[in-house]
Chains A and B, each alone.
Chain A
C-alpha cells in the first residue's frame, strides 16, 4: 500500500528515534533505582543531552517539512490549491468532489455522477479529492493510504492519493467528532478490478 504522504521510510526513522529515547529515559530511571553503583552526573552531560534534543528537533522539522511540502507541491503544480481549481485537475487521473455532511460522504465525479458513501477508482490511479462540509467540522481519513484532513463549513480542502493497486474496498472515515452519528460516518474507497477483496 502506498502511503499518500510517501512517509514510510521517514516515519520508521522517527519511530526508531522515539523508541530509542524512551528506552534511554526508562532505562536510566530503572538503573538509577536498581543498579547498585551510584553516579554523580555532571552539568555538561545535561547540556550535551539538550544539544542532542535540539539536533533531533532540527532533523525532524527538516524531514517533516520536506515530506509534507513535496505532497503539497504536487497539488500546487497542478494549480489545485485554489478554491476553483476543480477545472484544472489535469495532472490527476481522477478528481472527485466530496461533500461531507452529518453523517456521511457524497462523491461527485467529473461527469456529475453522484455516489453516496462510495468513491469508485481504478487501481494505482492518482486521485484528487476536493472536500467541503455543508454543516459542521468534519474529518476525512483513508487509513489504507494514511491521509487525514479536517475542514469546517465554507472551507475547500484538497487531498490527493495514489489508489491502492489491489482491488477492494478501503475504509474512509470521519475523524472529527461531528455529532451523535459520528461513528456511522464512513464511506468506502472502492478500487475496481477483476475481483474486489475485503481489505480495509
Chain B
C-alpha cells in the first residue's frame, strides 16, 4: 500500500556521523550549550539516573511487599518511597526520556538541523532538575495524585516544597511543549501538511497536550501549596473548599499525562521501524489519523479516573464510558499500521539482530497487552467491581509505561548510542538486558492483572496473608528484581562500551537482507 509519496513522508534519515559527542562535551556544554544533541544527551542521561533512582525505590518497596506483614518500612517511609517512585518515573524518567529522544531526532527527521526554541528546552531541563531536588527533599507521602484533603493533612514541614515542585514540573513540561510544537509547526509550514513526517505530527500532538494540560497542573499545585499554608482553602472541604473541582482540574492534566510519553514513543517507533526495515511505513494517513483522534480523545475521557465518585454519573458517566472505549480505535490504527509494515515485505536480517529493533517489537507486544484491557477498565460495571483502585490499574499502566514507553526509550537510546559515543555497545549485554526486561515486565504485569482481579488494593504497605495475594506478590517482587538486574546490565553496558566498545564509522545500522550484503559501510573494526 505504500507509494513514492510515503517514502518522502518518512522525513530525513536520523543519521549523523558517529563521533564521541558525549566524551567531548565540556562542563560548559553540559550546563549551557544550546546544541540540540548536547541538550538531548543531557536529558537522556538524566532520565536514566531518574530511572535508576525510581527503580531503586521500587526495589525497596517491592522487597517490603514480597511477603505479608511489615518487614523493613513503616507506612510513612513506604508511602514516601511509593510517591517518589511514581513521580520520578513519570515526571523524571518516562516523559523527559522520550521527549529528549524527539529533541535528538527531530532536527534530522524534520530537516531543520537545529532545535527551534532550544533555549526553552534548556530551561525545561533545569526546572525539572530543581523540581526533582525539591521533591526528594520534601519526601511527599501522598501518592502522585495527591488528592485533597488527605494531601493537606500529611507530610512534614517541608511538604510545601513538594507542591512547589509540582508547579515547576508543570512549567518545565509547558516549555517542552512549546519546543516540540514550534518544531512540528515550523516543519509543517515549510514542508506542507500532507508531507509532514509522522514525527512532525507527533510533535504537534505532543505540543498541544503539554501546553493545554499543564496549566491545570500548575494551578492545582499552587493552590494546594497555598491551601496547605492556610492562605486559601480552595480544595479543603473543612474550610469551604471543593474536592470535585480539584478532581476535574487535576485529571484534565492527569489523563493527558498518560499520553505525554506515548506520543513521542510512537513517533520514535514510526521513525526507527522504517530505518531498520529499509522501507516506509504501511500507511502514512492511518498514522496521521490516529495521532489526531488520540489527541482529541485524551482531553475528554479523564473523568473515568474517578468514575465511582458521585460527580461522575448520568450522561457524563455514560459518555465517558463510550469515549474511553473509543480510544481503542486510534490505538489499533497505530498497531495495525506497524504489523502491516512488518508483514508486507521481508524483515532484514540486520533488523532481527539489532537490539533497538528487538525493543521495538517488545514495545508493540506490551502496547497490545496493556491496551486490550482498557476495554474492560472503561466499562462502568466492571470498574465498579474489580478495576477501580485495585492492582488492575497499575497492571494496565505498567504495561504501557514500562512495557511500551520504557522499551521504546531503550530502543531509542540503543539506536543513538553509536552516534553520540562513536562506539557500539556490547551485543551480548544488550541481549541480556533485553531478555531480563521482557521476562521481568511480563511477569510483573501479569501478576498485577491477577492481583487486581482478586481485589488487591493499591497503596498498601501491608496485606492479609491470603494465598491469592501472597504468592503473586512474591512472584511480582521476583519479576521486579529481574527488571532491576536488567537495568544494571544496561548501565554497565553503556559505561563499559563507551571506552571499550568497537568504534563505528559510517552507518551503524546498515540494512542487510539475508541474501544481500550490507547497503552501507561496515564498521571500521
Interface residues in chain A, defined as those with a beta carbon under 8 Å from any beta carbon in chain B: 3, 5, 7, 10-11, 14-15, 17-18, 21-22, 25-26, 28-29, 31-33, 38-43, 46, 49-50, 53-54, 56-57, 60-61, 63-65, 67-68, 71, 135-137, 139, 141, 143, 146-155, 157, 171, 173-184, 186, 200
- Determine the chain B residues whose CB is within 8 A of the CB of A10 once the complex forms: 381
- The smallest C-beta distance from B250 to any residue of chain A, in angstroms, reads 12
- Determine the chain A residues whose CB is within 8 A of the CB of B147 once the complex forms: 136-137, 176-177
| Contact A151–B335 (Cβ < 8 Å) | no
- Determine the chain A residues whose CB is within 8 A of the CB of B145 once the complex forms: 177
In the bound complex, CA of A5 to CA of B380 (Å): 11
Interface residues in chain B, defined as those with a beta carbon under 8 Å from any beta carbon in chain A: 1, 75-76, 79, 141-143, 145, 147-150, 153-154, 237-238, 243-244, 282-283, 286, 306, 308-310, 318, 321-322, 325-326, 328-329, 332-333, 335-336, 339-340, 342-347, 361, 364-365, 368-369, 371-373, 375-376, 378-386, 388-390, 454-455, 457-464, 466
| Contact A39–B343 (Cβ < 8 Å) | yes
| Contact A175–B457 (Cβ < 8 Å) | yes
| Contact B243–A65 (Cβ < 8 Å) | no
| Contact A146–B372 (Cβ < 8 Å) | no
B75 contact from A41, A149, A181, Cβ within 8 A: A181
| Contact B321–A175 (Cβ < 8 Å) | no
| Contact B369–A22 (Cβ < 8 Å) | yes
| Contact B332–A53 (Cβ < 8 Å) | yes
Can you report 26 A-B residue pairs in the complex whose CB atoms are below 8 A from each other?
A3-B385, A10-B381, A21-B372, A28-B343, A29-B342, A29-B365, A32-B339, A33-B342, A41-B343, A50-B332, A61-B321, A63-B381, A64-B321, A64-B380, A71-B381, A136-B149, A136-B150, A137-B243, A148-B388, A149-B308, A152-B244, A180-B76, A180-B141, A181-B75, A182-B460, A183-B463
| Contact A49–B243 (Cβ < 8 Å) | no
| Contact A151–B310 (Cβ < 8 Å) | yes
| Contact B384–A38 (Cβ < 8 Å) | no
| Contact A61–B308 (Cβ < 8 Å) | no
Q: Given that A32-B343, A137-B150 are contacting pairs, would A147 and B368 also be in contact in the complex, using a CB cutoff of 8 Å?
A: no
| Contact B361–A33 (Cβ < 8 Å) | yes
- The smallest C-beta distance from A58 to any residue of chain B, in angstroms, reads 9
With both beta carbons as reference points, the residue of chain B lying nearest to A30 in the complex is identified as: B365
- Determine the chain B residues whose CB is within 8 A of the CB of A56 once the complex forms: 325, 328, 375
| Contact B375–A21 (Cβ < 8 Å) | yes
- Determine the chain B residues whose CB is within 8 A of the CB of A137 once the complex forms: 147, 150, 243
B369 contact from A26, A38, A49, Cβ within 8 A: A26
| Contact B1–A152 (Cβ < 8 Å) | no
| Contact A177–B143 (Cβ < 8 Å) | yes
- Determine the chain A residues whose CB is within 8 A of the CB of B342 once the complex forms: 29, 32-33
| Contact B237–A153 (Cβ < 8 Å) | yes
Closest 4 A/B residue pairs (Cβ): A143-B455, A183-B460, A25-B368, A32-B342
| Contact A38–B346 (Cβ < 8 Å) | yes
- Determine the chain A residues whose CB is within 8 A of the CB of B385 once the complex forms: 3, 5, 7, 11, 146-148
- The smallest C-beta distance from A130 to any residue of chain B, in angstroms, reads 13
| Contact A152–B237 (Cβ < 8 Å) | yes
| Contact A38–B457 (Cβ < 8 Å) | no
| Contact A154–B328 (Cβ < 8 Å) | no
